[in-house]
Structure 1
Amino acid sequence: MNANAATEASMKTFQTPTDYLDAYEVPQNVREFLFRSHELFINGQWKPAADGATAAVIEPSTRQQISTIASATVEDLDEAVNAARQAFESSTWTSQTPLARERQLQRLADLIEEHAEELAILESLDVGKPLAEAEMDIAGTVDTFRYFSGWASKISGRSSEPAGLDGNYVTYTRKEPVGVIGVIVPWNFPLQTLAWKLGAALAVGCTTVVKPPELTSLTTLRFAELVKEAGLPDGVVNILTGKGSTVGAALAAHPGIDKVTFTGSTKTGESVGHAALENVTRMTLELGGKSAVLVFEDCDIDAAVEEVAFGIFFNAGQICDAGSRLYVQESIYDEFMAKLVDNAKAWKLGPGLDAESTIGPLVSESQYRTVTSYIEAGVAEGAKLLCGGPVDEGTSNYVAPVIFGDCTNSMKIVQEEIFGPVLVAQRFSTQEEALALANDSEYGLAATIYSQSLNRVHQLSKDLKAGSIYVNAQSSIDPAMPFGGYKKSGFGRDLGAEQLDYVTETKTVWITLP
């Protein structure tokens, strides 16, 4: 089950994180940030956890500590929620003119862009992803804040004539910020997903308490410093690092929270949802995925191979809408799979800061064990392992791109989210069969179609049960377009104008004229 020897030989290993930083000439300002002991950001101030607890930050390629963060308590959470509530009710943020909020969010976006190199290096070190991918994440973060900054001055209600009532009325609606929002961010795209959650919320005047991912908090902490520099009022953004089992669960259940927005696994999302329901707290849940990819015989095979590989191996497959279930029309299956395996073998594993790396390690030893257990399950179920597998078993977090062929929908590796660079493939004969196979999943985050037939594309786009449909490309994301899922992939939407409805309340006003 090992990856090929050539891949193993190309790996660079380091005895210590300092060796890694030295090898890639990490700038001094990044080193200084790493070597601090990071505290909680509450009401515009930095402070240790109430009990002084800390947690280690582990660099994925070396499995060694590179930094230290505070581990917040429920007492810290109460303080952060109170700070956010005070900032909201005192109107230091909410009552600012929309143009004033717009300018401050634009200033925040400018600061993120000014520090893009530093943030990308931190993201690469923290998550393990190649630097080029981290740079894309930071660019997406800037775009998201800029997009939503523009909405701050354009949110409005509407006026309407009553449809059935007699009388002399003036009626209109107001859009008002929902209040204090609890934000729980995933570890795979920590800063970019934070922007997804905060952009709309801050634009409309909400205040926030953020729980960054326990594994990858560094860019969120650097972001807090930029929030302060941008001039946002104290208490508008509060950041509590630490354990999800302690702070994340308590945040979702906190009576001082008006809305919870969560991105993460379906299992954890179910727990967050149950906790929020105890107080009838509004929520947006963006959860797991097992996205289907349908490849038809009329597609551009070479282009589709490139896109399919990107869709599952980018970020080491640690993407909620990764195209992880592949269905290829029988007439081109053998040709397509042969080219896809060649493509998979060409991805180069290595540390994120190595310019030659195209796929980094998995984020943690725990995630490595999870992914390798699924690979073992696939082999045991009778799927054909065409390439890939763990590298340096037991001593690193690297998994070379894995492709299984001859799968069936009944297999565990086809039905469950693996969250790693593992693609499961099978054949289909007709469009109807492909549709049935694709919809045979408890998830519905995304699906992809490769075909030159507009008729087929439009029909399948209607019939596929997924929140995003990609055609002849994988995982297209833009802040102007909403993102979210069907079925157990959650509910509510991030991004786009649609997200504004999830961070505002609609108030109806009736005025009876004499």
Structure 2
Amino acid sequence: MPASLSGGPKKLLIGGEWVDALSGETFPTLNPSTGAVLAQIAMADEADVDRAVAAARAAFEGPWSRFKPAERQRILLRLADLVERDGDELAMLDTLEMGRPITDSVRVAGIVARGLRHFAGMATAIHGETLANSHPLDVLSYTLKEPVGVVGAIIPWNGPLFSAAWKIAPALATGCTVVLKAAEDGSLTPLRFGALCLEAGVPPGVVNVLTGFGAVGAALSRHPDVDKITFTGSGETGRKIIEASAATAKRVTMELGGKSPNIVFADADLDLAVQGAAMAVFSNCGQVCAAGTRLFVERSIHDEFVARVAEFGKTLKIGISNDPETRLGPIVSSRQFDRVTSYMALGPEEGARVVSGGTRVTEGELANGWFVTPTVFSEVKDDMRIAQEEIFGPVICAFPFDDFDEVITRANATRFGLAGGVWTRDITKAHAAIRRIRAGSIWVNHYMAMDPAVPFGGYKLSGYGREGGTEHIEAYLNTKGVWIRTG
């Protein structure tokens, strides 16, 4: 068991100090593999938000504002080293609290370390431009890039370490300060990451971590002294955040849900595509916003291909998340378990056929956890709820298609537009699909590649703004136009 789980209730990080919630209240966080309590967590409320925002504002206007880009870069590089040093602990915390298999969590910790080094490089690459102008006076015009200020970051439970780092790193690179609201089902790793920020040399108040429920995020969203909100999570919560932020005209970036199409043409490398299509959904037990949950397969290969995907799912070992042999861990919570299983029951009611899965796992050591079998539905209609609504579990809806134009139209027939996949050996067909699928990320002959150098975000109800790429850094910066008379 990680050392950070020992001791009493886990505290809030505010102004560089570990403090109890002002109310003194706590809530339990559970191991979804066993249902056992892992720790008690401080339950912040609006009063705690006020003091965290005050600490972030004081740090932004105080010593942090005098840090040079190279100094911010050194902190990020040191933080990357600390993530590598404590990678096993961070991975285990993610695994124990939200159920991702430990082998995957170890891989994610490595991705986070590499990402921090990427942002370290970006810290010294921020620049404005000298601009030619046609003003009748002799004037020099140029732009300055300046940190937006205090950032309220609200993250989901399905990737606590990754999400915390992806919100905090650009704040550190640009000179912003941040108040991070961790998800109630994913609090332990963000708290530990906050401790590593302090160890890396982040001044008090630059990074603050709050734990609790939706009221904390709501208070951050409407707080008059928060300059920007960055949110990853459900569309319903995202809309509430946008409404709450409107009164103070905050800058807002949203990475919301998805119902992503994954299109397999008959000319694809089918051996590669079977595994890719399965793990596009079964990875992290389907608890991935960009999961390729709508599987479109060309009719001539549809039945055989879908059967192979279902058989591949049956080979995945379902087990306790900290077992290195486990490939499919539990659903994160009883609440999410009920949601996923309700859709599994809804599919046959709507007329879909269960090819595989669709059941709860209750044998042996898994009896007290929230485990389900990887599920494949066929004979799904485009207008069924299982085809249109985000399930956020290991559930694939498979559809046959006959021609290119048809499948593109159907792939786009959704409120979402986060991602999509294309499997074909025909490069012309691939490029045509890339241009016509309305989504923020398209993967060809693989699924779910991510890198901090490449932007990620959505179209339509999947949100706006980008994380990754230069757009990610720009979202934390203001642009100031400067005019100097020279003659």
- What TM-score comes out, normalization by structure 2 length? 0.98
Q: Which residue of 1 aligns with 2:392?
A: 419
Partner Cα distance (2:340, 2:426) in 1: 36
Q: CA deviation at 1:33?
A: 2.4
Q: Structure 1 residue 498 and structure 2 residue 471: aligned?
A: yes
SS in 1 for 2:383: coil
Distance (whole Å) between structure 1 residues aligned to residue 347 and residue 307 of structure 2: 20
Q: Pick one of 59, 79, 87 that aligns with 1:116.
A: 87
1:409 counterpart residue number: 382
Partner of 1:323: 292
Aligned letter for 2:476?
A: V
Are residues 1:480 and 2:453 paired?
yes
Determine if the alignment matches structure 1 residue 353 to structure 2 residue 326.
no
Distance in 1 (alpha carbons) for counterparts of 2:485 and 2:233: 48
CA distance in 2, matches of 1:374, 1:37: 35
Equivalent residue for 1:58? 30
State the partner residue of 1:10.
Answer: none
Cα pair 2:29 2:185 within 8 Å, conserved: yes
Q: Distance in 1 between matches of 2:166 and 2:151?
A: 13
Once structures 1 and 2 are overlaid, which stretch shifts more, 193-202 or 477-486? 193-202
Q: CA deviation at 1:36?
A: 3.2
- Tell me the residue number matched to 2:483: 510
**Separation in 1, partners of 2:40, 2:3:** 13
SS at match of 1:385: strand
* Among 258, 263, 281, the residue aligned to 2:227: 258
Find out whether 1:133 has 2:104 as its counterpart: yes
Contact 1:35 1:67 in 2 (8 A): no
Q: Does 1:267 align with 2:236?
A: yes
Partner of 1:440: 413
Judged with a 3 Å threshold, the aligned counterparts in structure 2 of structure 1 residues 32 and 443 are, in CA distance, closer, same or farther, namely closer
Q: Which residue of 2 aligns with 1:384?
A: 353
What is the match of residue 141 of structure 2?
A: 171
Instruction: Give the conservation status (yes or no) of the 8 Å contact 1:171–1:508.
Output: yes
The CA deviation string for residues 347-370 of structure 1, in whole angstroms up to 9 with x for no partner, is 111111112210000000000000
- Partner residue, 2:161: 191
Q: In structure 1, how many angstroms separate the alpha carbons of the residues matched to 2:477 and 2:66? A: 15
Equivalent of 1:161, from 132, 135, 139?
132
Q: Which runs of 5+ in 1 are unaligned?
A: 1-25
> Which residue pairs with 1:106 in the alignment?
77
Q: Return the letter of the residue paired with 1:328.
A: V
- Pair 1:215 & 2:188 matched: no
The structural deviation recorded for 1:75 is 0.8
1:167 Cα offset (Å):
3.0
Q: Does 1:97 align with 2:68?
A: yes
CA distance in 2, matches of 1:147, 1:99: 14
How many angstroms apart in 1 are the aligned matches of 2:7 and 2:349? 44
Contact 2:33 2:368 in 1 (8 A): no
CA distance in 1, matches of 2:425, 2:301: 15
Deviation at 1:140, TM superposition (A): 1.5
CA positional deviation for 1:31: 4.6
1:489 corresponds to 2:468: no
> In the TM superposition, what is the alpha-carbon distance from 1:35 to its structure 2 partner?
4.5
Answer yes or no: is the 8 Å Cα contact 2:144–2:479 preserved in 1: yes
d(CA) in 1 for partners of 2:4 and 2:163? 25
**8 Å CA contact 2:77, 2:116 repeated in 1:** yes
Query: Counterpart in 2 of 1:13?
Result: none
Out of 42, 65, 76, the residue aligned to residue 14 of structure 2 is 42
Aligned to 2:216: 247
Match of 1:152 in 2: 123
Letter paired with 1:477: M
Deviation at 1:395, TM superposition (A): 4.8
Contact 2:345–2:358 (CA<8 Å) still a contact in 1?
no
Separation of aligned partners in 2, 1:170 and 1:202: 31
Report if aligned partners of 2:26, 2:41 keep a CA contact under 8 Å in 1: yes
- Paired residue secondary structure (1:210): strand
CA distance in 1, matches of 2:247, 2:137: 41
The 2-side partners of 1:498 and 1:85 are apart by 24
Deviation, structure 1 residue 501: 1.4
Specify whether residues 171 and 339 from structure 1 end up closer, same or farther in structure 2 by C-alpha distance, changes over 3 A only.
same
What is the distance in 1 between the residues matched to 2:290 and 2:304? Answer: 26
Distance 2:345 2:222 in 1: 37
- TM-score, normalised with respect to structure 1: 0.93
CA distance in 1, matches of 2:8, 2:41: 9
Q: Deviations over 1:217-243 (max 9, x none)?
A: 101111121111111100000011111
1:74 aligns with 2:46: yes
One-letter amino acid matched to 1:95: R
Note the C-alpha offset of 1:291: 0.4
What displacement does 1:490 show?
A: 0.2
Equivalent of residue 225 in structure 1, options 183, 195, 206: 195
Structure 1 CA distance, aligned partners of 2:65 and 2:275? 47
Q: Is the 8 A contact 2:261 2:420 kept in 1?
A: yes
CA distance in 2, matches of 1:104, 1:111: 10
Query: What per-residue deviation string (whole Å, max 9, x for no partner) do you get for residues 364-383 of structure 1?
Result: 00000000001111110000
Quote the Cα distance in structure 1 between the aligned partners of 2:137 and 2:15. 49
Distance (whole Å) between structure 1 residues aligned to residue 476 and residue 344 of structure 2: 40
What amino acid is aligned across from residue 44 of structure 1 in structure 2? G
Is the 1:34–1:66 Cα contact (8 Å) retained in structure 2? no
Check the 8 A contact 1:35/1:66 in 2, yes or no: no
Q: Which runs of 5+ in 2 are unaligned?
A: none
Contact kept, 8 Å, 2:361 with 2:373, in 1: the verdict is no
Shift of 1:94: 2.4
Per-residue CA deviations over 1:415-473 (Å, capped at 9, x if unaligned) read 00000000000100000011011000000000000001111111111111000000000
User: Given residue 446 of structure 1, which amino acid in structure 2 is its aligned partner?
Assistant: A
Contact 1:312 1:323 in 2 (8 A): yes
Task: Name the CA distance, whole Å, in 1 between partners of 2:32 and 2:115.
Answer: 27
Residue-pair matches, total: 483
More divergent stretch after superposition (493-502 vs 74-83): 493-502
- Structure 1 CA distance, aligned partners of 2:247 and 2:316? 47
**Contact conserved, 2:268 with 2:425, CA < 8 A, in 1?**
yes
